[in-house]
Chain A
Amino acid sequence: MKKSLLMISIMLALAIALGGCATKGDLEEVQAREKAIGAKADQAAQDAEDAKAAADQAVKKADEAVARAEEAERRAMERERIAAEKERIAEEKARMAEEKAKQAEAAFQKSMKK
């Protein structure tokens, strides 16, 4: 039993001794790699953010264009409505003027009888 415990202790000590053998250079390399990857990740995140912003901008522009088109269409329809209204009023005025002229003429013709 004592022998087994000794054996385990030796192996542990050996393992600890061997682990402590990593060099300073190794550590710096790992740190540099981490840094590079971190920067890469930051870049990617930034790129993604930029892409999203660009997409958002495009959507915004598209929305604005649609809104402008809708406004233009609304204005055109309004103009058309006003023109139609003006035409209707002009027609109505012409009709009324013609009607008044006819009424005046009828009154005149009646007045020409004996």
Chain B
Amino acid sequence: MREVVKSLPLHIHPEEKVRRNDFFVEKEDDVIGRLAAIRIEKEDTLPDIARHFSLGINTVSAANPGIDIWVPEVGERILLPLSFILPDTPRKGIVINLAAMRLFYFKKAGKLLAVSTYPVGIGTTERPTPMGQMYVKRKKIRPTWYVPASIAEDHREKGDPLPAKVPPGPLNPLGEYALYLSNSGYLVHGTNKPASIGLRATNGCIRLYPEDIERLFENAPVKTPVSIVNQPYLVGQRDGIIYIEAHKPFEESGIAELKRTYAKLRNIEKKSGHALDWKKVGKVMGEARGFPVPVFDINRGSEKVAAETIKLWHPGKLYGKPEIPELQTDAWYVLAATLRDKVDALRLAAIINHQGPPIPARVLSTSDRYRVLAGPFKNRREAKDAAKRLKIDLEIDGILVEPIKEGEPIAPLLSRSSSLNY
């Protein structure tokens, strides 16, 4: 039999080609990593792509404006902002830039400086993450969550009272690892809601993906200094090229940071003796797409150019993507919604799938409607718990669907539907 050799285009690379977390920092450089791009495949969501490449949903959506987070079109090219400007701080210990929602852990590696970087979730506007200098006071594997009074009160108001403490396990929002900071009550921890990385969703703590906190936990010892800053506009250089990285500033920090950045750029312009393209600078600042953009070549005429975006093959299976068990006629389900619009139904199913802990959900299509069905659940209690979570977290009034009894004609819900497997 003749062997068929599948040739791959040379300009597209396997995903291993791109670095996600670990870099060496050259003495003069402030910019690490390379931008990459990937094409959307069926059933992808941006949070799944973000997690696979160790990015927060904030940066992936900012870098790809106009693309539906939950139901992106198949074939659309997604920019992966895997290049970062280091915050303007001493390069020591853990540095967290709130505006970028990114943590940097600096560590000496012989004569070189290594940095590991991870996306984070941070505090809400009402309960912001505190800024300043602190350190890792202690570390704990499988931590217990002692529910703070303010959070207990919030949950009571929602009709979801919490126990005084939550033991390790899938319901524990701290995940499997925690670094307790010297600033009392604040932690760097894992999460049972990985889709929240890149959102302002915590009560002031710093959340990491489960796989990232595990690595940070292993590497960062007790007493590691921690610096928390808020720098929405970053200026840095690599190979003589000046880059700007702009993030949408928090309401309270925008103008002062903008002034500081413009002063820094004017200084660079003055020192170099060449005029800066201020129009381009303004555009980058205004668009705030969250990745480094080259704006200026200090040594004009040099042959160095900004690194190109690496085009990557889709990995096939995305790491951490919620899995949906097969439909079973002897299981319980919760009918979350019946919708006329397919995209609305797919979006809702995806959102339910990305709850923490995940609730499996899929779309069943009939001739003119789309049913969003959560499940399968082993028993009535599990289904009721899921319905309760849907009500509390997403304000969805789900309907319990009983298993099909033996000999019973198959209900229309399962028989005349086709699953879209989202």
Contacts and interface: CB of A to CB of B under 8 A. Distances in A.
Given A97-B343, A100-B344, A105-B69, A112 B196 contact: yes
Contact of A109 (B68, B201, B348): B201
Contacts of A113: 124, 196, 201-203
A85 B324 CA distance: 42
B68 A114 contact: no
B70 A112 contact: no
Interface residues of B, number: 26
Interface stretch (B306-314, B325-333, B350-358): B350-358
A109 B393 CA distance: 10
Given A113-B202, A114-B173, A108 B354 contact: yes
A110 B393 contact: yes
Chain A contact residues, majority secondary structure: helix
B304 to A, nearest CB: 40
B394 interface: yes
Nearest to B145: A114
A107 B395 contact: yes
B326 to A, nearest CB: 25
A5 B354 CA distance: 146
Given A109-B201, A112-B193, A112-B196, A104 B68 contact: no
A23 interface: no
Contact of B201 (A100, A104, A112): A112
A114 B341 CA distance: 31
B397 to A, nearest CB: 13
A14 to B, nearest CB: 119
A101 to B, nearest CB: 7
Nearest to B356: A112
A112 B351 contact: no
Contacts of B193: 112
B347 interface: yes
Interface string B378-401: 000000000000000111000000
Contacts of B151: 114
Interface in B49-80: 68-70
Interface string A81-104: 000000000000000010011001
A111 B69 contact: no
B199 interface: yes
B96 interface: no
A31 to B, nearest CB: 94
Contact of A114 (B69, B70, B203, B354): B203
Contacts of B394: 107-108, 111
A112 B203 CA distance: 11
A104 B70 contact: yes
Contact of B199 (A97, A100, A109): A109
A94 to B, nearest CB: 12
Contacts of A104: 70, 344, 347-348, 351
Interface of A: 97, 100-101, 104-105, 107-114
* 9 A-B pairs closest in CB distance: A112-B196, A111-B393, A112-B201, A114-B173, A108-B351, A113-B201, A112-B193, A107-B394, A104-B347
Interface of B: 68-70, 121, 124, 151, 173, 193, 195-196, 199, 201-203, 341, 343-344, 347-348, 351, 354-356, 393-395
20 contacts: A101-B68, A101-B69, A104-B351, A105-B69, A107-B351, A107-B394, A108-B195, A108-B354, A108-B394, A109-B199, A111-B394, A112-B121, A112-B195, A112-B199, A113-B124, A113-B196, A113-B201, A114-B151, A114-B173, A114-B202
